[in-house]
Amino acid sequence: TNTSQPKRADRSKVYMADLESTLHYSLRVEAARAATLSGAQLAAFKCYVATLVKYFPGRPCVQTYLQNLDSWLRNWTEPELPRSALKEAMKNNRDASHPAVLPTNVTWVGCQGSEPHFRGYPCGLWTIFHLLTIQAAQSGPDKELPLEVLSTMRCYVRHFFGCQECAQHFEAMAAESMDRVTGREEAVLWLWSHHNEVNARLAGGDTEDPNFPKLQWPPPDMCPQCHREERGVHAWDQLTVLTFLKAHFSPANIYLDFAE
Ligand code: FAD
């Protein structure tokens, strides 16, 4: 069988294969690069896993995997966490009465690029954090811990994201305005609008996949009502955008096609 067969993705859907591939890569590859985790880096890792347990709408075996990893990390009270111990704790357990499995293959569907160096992991990371900000906004009082997910993302990106230039750009945006976010819905819109800022900056550049041009998202054909014109100038209808994001990044819009 030809495993590199092109996968036909529908850009109006979110794919579990992208989400699980991103989790696998972020936890087992990016976070396991350092020989030991300690200090702020260890805290960032614990925070990332705790946020996933709270808000990632995963399949039962993945939820169990994340819960087990989270409890294991909570029990790790020494200041240094060696990579060998972490790698052991991140192994799958298929034999238990509640299997704890995060697939170890990397399969991109919605995030598949036209060449291997395009899209993939960075696309998955944006997708995961949009999803988490939306799930957090749907699950608790708006004014309670508004920065919970955004600050987790900020710490993850700062300490683990392999693209250092990306991390610096993101940190600069975060330092400028993230702390002014006062509600969970505002956090959703902060990430959406700053992702669009990144899209605008990267449009036409050499990291752009020619088959997936950087757009201001969602484009009019995906959400006509999200767009308005005020005196001939483009404007977003932010309430409609929020409604669109809640539907796009909802568990009901996550498809299992190509998931292991
Ligand atoms: P992505 O921009 O990765 O988007 C993924 C998917 O999210 C899209 O397919 C779409 O479905 C959806 N989406 C798009 N825009 C929005 C939005 N505004 N709101 C909600 N959903 C949206 N690359 C660089 O070259 N330089 C950088 O400085 C840089 N900084 C980055 C910082 C961060 C934090 C991250 C996660 C990535 C960064 N990247 C950077 C990578 C870049 O942003 C893209 O992820 C990469 O080029 C792949 O692009 P893509 O076409 O798959 O779409």
| Partners of 37 in beta bridges | 81
* Exposure b/e, 92-113, CB count within 10 A at least 16 = b: eeeeeeeebbbbeebbbbbbbe
In tens, the pLDDT along 89-119 reads 999 999 989 999 999 999 999 999 999 999 9
Pick the range with the lowest mean pLDDT from 7-11, 46-50, 248-252: 7-11
Closest residue to atom 38 of ligand 1, CA basis: 166
CB atoms < 10 A from the CB of 71, how many? 12
Closest residue to atom 17 of ligand 1, CA basis: 192
Which of left, alpha, beta for 143 (phi over 0: left; psi -120 to 50: alpha)?
alpha
Mean pLDDT across 206-235: 96
In the chain, CATH 1.20.120.1960 sits at: 14-89
pLDDT number for residue 166: 97
| Residue 108 in tokens | 């991109």
Q: Which of 126, 165, 196 for a ligand 1 pocket mutation test, highest count of atoms within 8 Å of Cβ? A: 126
Closest residue to atom 5 of ligand 1, CA basis: 123
Give the type of residue at 18.
D
Mean pLDDT across 219-238: 96
In tens, the pLDDT along 30-67 reads 999 999 999 999 999 999 999 999 999 999 999 999 99
Q: Is the pLDDT of residue 177 over 60?
A: yes
**For helices 16-24 and 121-139, angle between their N-to-C axes, nearest 10 degrees:** 110
| Helix spans in the chain (H) | 16-24, 39-55, 60-75, 83-89, 121-139, 148-160, 164-177, 184-202, 238-248
Distance CA 103, CA 109 (A): 15
Per-chain mean pLDDT for the chain:
96
Distance CA 19, CA 56 (A): 9
Give the type of residue at 38.
S
CA of 61 to the centre of ligand 1 (A): 28
Question: 121-253: what fold?
Answer: Four Helix Bundle (Hemerythrin (Met), subunit A) (1.20.120)
CB atoms < 10 A from the CB of 149, how many? 25
CA of 99 to the centre of ligand 1 (A): 33
Q: Is the pLDDT of residue 225 over 70?
A: yes
- Rounded (5°) CA angle 138-238-190: 65
Ligand 1 site: residues with CB under 6 angstroms? 11, 111, 119, 122-123, 125-127, 130, 157, 165-166, 169-170, 192, 195-196, 198-199, 202, 207, 209, 212, 217
Mean pLDDT across 142-164: 98
Instruction: Say if CB 92 and CB 101 are below 8 A apart.
Output: yes
In the chain, CATH 1.20.120.310 sits at: 121-253
| Residue 48 in tokens | 């990332």
On the question of a cis peptide bond just before residue 218, with omega within 30 degrees of 0, the verdict is yes
- Domain 14-89 grouped into CATH 1.20.120.430: no
Distance CA 115, CA 123 (A): 14
ipTM: 0.99
pLDDT number for residue 5: 52
Q: At a CB cut-off of 8 Å and minimum separation 6, what does 175 contact?
A: none
| Residue 81 in tokens | 């966490």
| Partners of 235 in beta bridges | 228
Q: Is the pLDDT of residue 2 over 80?
A: no
Q: Which of 14, 112, 123 for a ligand 1 pocket mutation test, highest count of atoms within 8 Å of Cβ? A: 123
| Model confidence band, residue 148 (pLDDT cutoffs 50, 70, 90) | very high
